[in-house]
A and B are shown apart, each in its own frame.
Chain A
């Protein structure tokens, strides 16, 4: 339909198309890992063949949430923790859009934890990138759900008594059909994983290890990292839920011992996305709902003709 002609347009896409022409230049600190996510996305989107105008990027609040300002797509910078419900609905309303959600570890695993679990469970066809810097950046360095046990901050002066959350296991157990971890220090892997995640038909969760040199000075810069898919030391079948689970557990424990394992941990190509499931049971129209509002020939139903007889 001509009204959404940006969707499905086939042409060479220049990386710079995603760069806002005017203001603003990133306000991220020098050396911040967030730059790597931006870069990986700018490389991945043209690779997948998605134009900025058919892409909807929904972010949360935090340094990470600012991503929207530096990547010039259709965007929705939502509220703290709520990028996923906004993104989900946009995808249901117009499944032809490329929907990407992003935010920090506090945003996604803390305040938005409930939405994270349920979006994974429903397996919405979208990509979710979590900038995992093990700290609250924007509010100046408080302990986050991924901060290690014993982590000291102004709000946890005695050191955190909590075990860090295990985001990979969480999304796998909740039902995500693609789960990977990558790191800012490895731009090539980051680009590949983000590309795959966008192409994946289902909920693709990418835990993106980013450093926050400003507030998390102690944090390892996630080097050296190991790609478990390339290493002979880690044999597992990423399509097997049980093996994937085991590998994730190892990874999530090892991270806090200083061993950074990255890569694809779970890939299920068979599980239908939520939209497909909903269509199959007749709960969602075949054509994108949003298109109908532009179709001058569509005959809008009236309650008068459809439901009122049962009240007579």
Chain B
């Protein structure tokens, strides 16, 4: 645990502005030169219910939420004390304070809104504070906000108090408020911010803050971005101008961002009747010659299974994004899990061909969104971008230059009319859309409205002209060609270097992971090596076609491998084993499936328990150890 970082947690009720306040605060920290990372925790409720967001800030790179936190801003849940008393369940009123204490670090700071929360209702509060050396500041944030503006502005008062207590200058916060707020509410907010700041500084002589904001500097412009933002911008830069969808948490974020931006770019977004339609629309638009996408989360993606197969059989390029949440069925709508991996790999009937990519960080989300489109169109194959609620929603800073790339609206092997007029695309006066023998399996296509490119796309097996065929020879030729694409894509991806490695190359042990757990694992690897262990990690990004060679080399190079994933059944480990075909004796699993992502300490403790002590019991954590085969 490092002291040179601030992990600020703001807690209150859903709908009380926790998300926007924390986003602004994170941006202010980023602007002051720090690296930031946010973590959202919220219930599946619109109003009320306990929610919090953490903002971690450090001069060093930050890639995970960290362990615990050191500054709590506990605001009340306005819904819990709503006049509609009956809507209150349990003791929600004290939740913003009581629910958060377990993870607060020793020496941490608590600011709570005494206008709304009563610390005396919390059992042993004072004893606990004393034991843990917590510094407690009861402030009437609500009263202050009400007197100077409106009660909802108590978030602003809380931020002012935070700045005063951590030694952070107000200027970045003020700049942001000027950018983001309409004139009418700007003035009172600025006044509340400053008043809270001054009051705290006067009342509590805070020359040496209990927890201070570190100082840092960026050498280039940084952007605060979520995985959902990055996926959307990647799609836009790759020329995607058509999206169709149906809302489902957490995929809705990408759908919303795209919908808000596409019309400005002359693109089209369609909210349709269901997910079957959504995926079918993306297929139809792509068939007509535009770059198109759709997406959903678990249950909605299940409905897309048939259009997905249609895209495979008709070799229509399309990108589907799948934002995982805890399942099965409706599961836990706002909680992350990685357990749709097998669903996405294997859904839809037949010997199917698709690509599945799983970015590990916000930067990678942009990158791989672009790669997903490029592969889909170059190879005429549906490509799925698999991520989860954590990566979709977390905000982190990425250098602006990362996005400074050329657009790529290229449709891949789509023939011009001049090319269509030439042999060998035609035989018997017909366009051969699905030729048997072509390099890399990709047979050039035409789009409706082009002269000389008329063909039939069908979900039935078909001959080179596109007509339904059950000829055995043709069947074999078509399946072999479609499958051949995957080899070509694997070779293509090897040039992209999509995986992420951390730790010393000659390490004794390895950790394998995928998707959103990558950053957390990398942080844990750093700590393990500092603590004298010899560990490296590999965050795998390509789920299909799988980078078998690379993973094999990694496993081969170490004595034992711990596979870290947010599933109960070890789906990723199963995929590794399936592709490697052996090494079962070298792979054990560390699993977490309680609705929360891993914290670095859980990986550190899990590794020590599993590998060093060998019993796998990482006490105090809700993680599960599954030993290697033969153990």
Contacts and interface: CB of A to CB of B under 8 A. Distances in A.
Q: Do A and B bind each other?
A: yes
Interface of A: 2-7, 20-24, 52-56, 58, 61, 66, 68-69, 72-79, 82, 85-90, 92-94, 96-97, 114-115, 117-118, 278, 282-285, 289-290, 292-294, 298, 300-304, 306-308, 311-312
B454 A283 contact: no
A94 B288 contact: yes
B449 A89 contact: no
Given A94-B288, A290-B449, A282 B403 contact: no
B405 A304 contact: yes
A2 B417 CA distance: 8
Given A73-B454, A74-B454, A304-B404, A90 B285 contact: yes
B403 A56 contact: no
B454 to A, nearest CB: 5
B447 interface: yes
B272 interface: yes
Given A76-B287, A293-B290, A312-B222, 15 more contacts: A7-B449, A53-B450, A54-B449, A69-B467, A72-B454, A89-B244, A89-B270, A90-B284, A93-B289, A114-B274, A289-B267, A290-B289, A294-B416, A298-B409, A304-B403
A82 B237 contact: no
B472 interface: no
Given A22-B465, A93-B268, A94-B448, A301 B407 contact: yes
B308 to A, nearest CB: 10
Contact of A97 (B237, B310, B448, B459): B448
A230 B590 CA distance: 77
A73 B404 CA distance: 43
B429 interface: yes
A97 B449 contact: yes
A93 B263 contact: no
Secondary structure at the A interface, as helix, strand, loop or mixed, is: mixed
A92 B285 contact: yes
Nearest to B242: A93
B430 interface: yes
Contact of A293 (B306, B411, B466): B411
Interface of B: 221-225, 229, 232-233, 236-237, 239, 241-242, 244, 261, 263-270, 272-274, 276-278, 280-285, 287-292, 306-307, 309-310, 314, 400, 403-407, 409, 411, 416-417, 428-430, 447-460, 465-468
7 contacts: A7-B449, A24-B468, A85-B272, A93-B242, A303-B237, A311-B223, A311-B229
Pick the 8 closest A-B CB pairs, nearest first.
A89-B284, A86-B284, A303-B233, A77-B458, A300-B407, A85-B280, A311-B223, A89-B281
A85 B277 contact: yes
A97 B400 CA distance: 41
Contacts of A56: 288, 448
A24 B276 CA distance: 31
Contacts of A20: 467
Given A114-B277, A293-B409, A301-B407, A307 B268 contact: no
Given A5-B417, A311-B223, A90 B467 contact: no
Contact of B268 (A21, A54, A77, A283): A283
Given A301-B236, A308-B223, A94 B428 contact: no
A79 B311 CA distance: 10
Nearest to B235: A303
Contact of B284 (A24, A76, A308): A76
A135 to B, nearest CB: 22
A250 to B, nearest CB: 30
A292 B233 contact: no
Nearest to A86: B284
A5 B268 contact: no
A312 B30 CA distance: 9
B314 A76 contact: yes
A269 B120 CA distance: 71
Given A93-B242, A94-B448, A304-B405, A52 B454 contact: yes
Contact of B283 (A89, A283, A302): A89
A312 B223 contact: yes
Contact of A78 (B266, B280, B451, B465): B280
Contacts of A52: 454
A29 to B, nearest CB: 17
A201 B236 CA distance: 31
A307 B454 CA distance: 39
B469 to A, nearest CB: 9
A23 B463 CA distance: 11
B224 A311 contact: yes
A248 B273 CA distance: 26
Given A3-B416, A56-B288, A90-B288, A68 B458 contact: yes
Given A85-B277, A92-B268, A283-B263, A3 B290 contact: no
A89 B400 contact: no
Contacts of A302: 236-237, 403, 405-407
Contacts of B267: 285, 289
B268 A300 contact: no
Given A6-B450, A24-B467, A89-B282, A293 B268 contact: no
B389 to A, nearest CB: 20
A23 B470 CA distance: 13
A115 B457 CA distance: 21
Given A79-B310, A114-B274, A96 B289 contact: no
Contacts of B448: 53-56, 74, 90, 94, 97
Most B-side CB within 10 Å, residue of A284, A303, A306: A303
A284 B233 contact: no
B428 A86 contact: no
A167 to B, nearest CB: 18
A68 B307 CA distance: 18
